[in-house]
Amino acid sequence: MIGILTLDTGFPRIRGDVGCSETFPFPVRYATPKGAAVDLVVHRRDDSMLPAFVEAARGLVDAGAVGIATTCGFLARWQDEFTAALSVPVLTSSLLQAPLVARTLPKGRRLGIVTYSAVDITPELLAAVGLPASTPVEGVDPAGTFGRTIRHGAAKLDVEAMAADVAAASRRLASAHRELGAIVLECANMPPYRSAVEAATGLPVFDATQLVSWFHAGIAATTPRYARRDLW
């Protein structure tokens, strides 16, 4: 079982979203730290929330999780803190796959990132995942449907508008960087719209859902070992 930490959001999680259990063909369990609002965690970058996230992750491990993932790409800034505090592997962010994707690209091609919030993809965050500060980044329109839904919530998703917003951001990124060779979607709410990004750019697209599935494939058979705390 993979334990997944979520932010305290107010919108439905549809199939494909890391926050939807129907996305995965293996068991997952969710935990939401108290007070983990998007504004606090992403935009204010409030590190005082870290203990609550670690406590929630430990609860998932106690419940049988053999690995911890999250639904927020910006939690990459706490990757080292999580691995220091927990006894199982931790995958904080879709961004962790970005250096690997970049290494696969032909000479002259670059990786680009499409994100929920471009202003919060700081040089420090890029450095934390092993990317240069010059990495091309494009965010969705904060005033658009996707941006407003993630930040403020919605009783029902406008799936077509959400897809259009993510696709538009990817087109802007590809237009501004003709050397682009692949795109990583930072936000774990973006995978349902991956096909829209592929259609808009014609580029390979990598997301959090794919990464969590890869993560599970590597550690699923290690359940007995990670259940034994005496080995840590």
CATH code, domain with 198? 3.40.50.1860
67 and 129, same structural domain? Answer: no
227 and 200, same structural domain? Answer: no
Angle, helix 159-176 to helix 194-201, in steps of 10 degrees: 40
Read off the pLDDT of residues 90-110 as tens digits, 9 standing for 90 and up. Answer: 999 999 999 999 999 999 999
Query: How many other C-beta atoms are found inside a 10 Å radius of the C-beta of residue 136?
Result: 16
**Among 170, 157, 209, 166, which Cα is nearest to 188's?**
209
Structural domain range at position 156? 95-207
- Asked if 24 contacts 17 with a C-beta cutoff of 8 angstroms, the reply is no
- Which residue matches tokens 């499409």? 114
- Asked if 170 contacts 186 with a C-beta cutoff of 8 angstroms, the reply is no
**pLDDT computed for residue 83 by the predictor:** 97
Model confidence at 44: pLDDT above 60? yes
Task: For the chain, give the percent of residues with pLDDT over 70.
Answer: 95
Model confidence at 79: pLDDT above 70? yes
Count: domains in the chain: 2
152 and 109, same structural domain? Answer: yes
Q: How confident is residue 221, by pLDDT bands cut at 50, 70 and 90?
A: confident
8 and 76, same structural domain? Answer: yes
